[in-house]
Amino acid sequence: MTVATWSSANQDRAKQILSRYPDPRSAVMPLLYLSFLEHGSVTDEGQRQVAELTGLTAAQVQSVASFYTMYKKDHVGSYLVSVCTSISCFLLDADEVLSAIEDETNTPDGETSDDGLFTVEHVECIGACGGAPAVQVNYELIEGVTPAKGRELCRWLRDGRPEVVLGDELQQLFGGRRSFDWGPSEPEGAFVPVPAFAPYGSSRGDQP
């Protein structure tokens, strides 16, 4: 199937993305996120469609998609809970945080819950070492998470099923010590498990 099968909104977004680059090949990464949104994961078909849009070969698109762990090949739950287990977080009990989240969601690391609500994963350093242990929900950051707070977070997501997750709110409710006491607040949240810089995973996603 061709990109003509995409939703008209995503076809429009694809055109907008392509119009920003003098060379369509440069649009491969945002278009892969768009294909993720269209298909619910980065499928072989989606990669072929991105190749069609960019003029790259399917192998070239696959080489990009397979390099970055954020291009998920399997369907992802409504809430992608990522727990950093690299050294700074590991030293501050990240493994216990991950275990608590796996247990609370009944979802082993790397898998998606039966109800499709949670995908749980461990990740390498996400650049918040000063606020370890660090967790993300749909790439919205929470620092200083304890095992108990990790459990609370999962219950809160399950009970409330927020359409948009807001990092500032998550930090306030479930976080602890942060890397910095200063810095801009981020009023925009994420509504799908796609990195906000996509920018189509953020609540500003419809803005060109």
Contacts with ligand FES, residue ranges (CB under 6 A): 84, 86-89, 125-129, 132, 134
Cα dihedral 64→55→28→193 (10° resolution): -90
Q: Between residues 13 and 122, which has the closer beta carbon with respect to ligand FES?
A: 122
CB closer to ligand FES out of 35 and 85? 85
CB of residue 90 vs ligand FES: minimum separation in angstroms? 7
Q: Which is nearer to ligand FES, 117 or 125 (by Cβ)?
A: 125
Judged by beta carbon, residue 110 or residue 127, the one nearer ligand FES is 127
Q: In angstroms, give the least distance from the CB of 101 to ligand FES.
A: 15
User: What whole-number distance in Å separates Cα of residue 60 and Cα of residue 73?
Assistant: 16
Nearest to 190 by CA among 82, 50, 75, 32: 82
Q: How far is the CB of 38 from ligand FES (least distance, A)?
A: 31
Shortest Cβ 91–ligand FES spacing (Å): 9
Angstrom distance (rounded) from CA 191 to CA 166: 9
CA distance 89 to 83: 9
Write phi, then psi, for 122 (nearest 5 degrees). -95, 145
d(CA 187, CA 166): 7
CB of 3 or CB of 92, closer to ligand FES: 92
Specify the amino acid at residue 1: M
Distance CA 96, CA 158 (A): 20
Between 28 and 84, CB nearer to ligand FES? 84
Tokens of 160: 């409330």
Q: For residue 61, which amino acid is it?
A: V
